[in-house]
Amino acid sequence: MAMFRFKKDTALKYSRTLTEHFKSSSRTAQAPSPCVARGTGTPSPLSQTPSPASSGGSQPGSSSGNGASVAIPHMIHQLASNYVSITSIFLHGHDLWEQADALAKKNREFFAELDAAVGLLSLTSSMTELVHYTRQGLHWLRLDTKLL
């Protein structure tokens, strides 16, 4: 979650840029754009990355027999790639948070005592608070295992 917070502003900027691009692309879908090379099967000079539409699969609004290809501008391809990378950090962090939450529910007593001693953790906790909480919990676990 900390990594996502670090990249959040960049992700929002990329999201706005991609949304604007896709909105303008859908409005101009009837008219040829500088990014479309029709009938040649080659991408336009704006991009070296052909879209999945040029891979032979049928796409909505296109016929597979006309030989048309659609090229994605390099900047849009790079933004989309970076955006997916950033949002995957969020998804992974959210998944880890849910796993930790499920484990905490199974061990309520331990975490209730730890919360009382150190303080509650949340998505907005600092790295210092997280380290302190973790160290205290590990210390208690070490003491507990020595008693067994």
Residue-wise pLDDT for 1-48, tens only, equals 677 778 878 888 888 888 888 788 766 654 444 444 444 444 444 444
What pLDDT shows up at residue 117?
96
Q: What is the pTM assigned to this prediction?
A: 0.45
Residue-wise pLDDT for 79-111, tens only, equals 888 888 888 888 888 888 889 889 989 999 999
Please calculate the CA angle 94-9-128 and round it to the nearest 5 degrees.
Answer: 60
Residue-wise pLDDT for 101-148, tens only, equals 899 899 999 999 999 999 998 878 999 999 999 999 999 999 998 876
| CB-CB contact of 80 with 15 (8 Å) | no
Residue from 36, 45, 40, 24 nearest 71 by CA: 36
- Enumerate the domain spans of the chain: 2-147
Cβ-based burial of 30 (10 A; exposed 0-12, middle 13-18, buried ≥19) = exposed
Distance separating alpha carbons of residues 14 and 106, to the nearest angstrom: 39
Distance separating alpha carbons of residues 114 and 129, to the nearest angstrom: 12
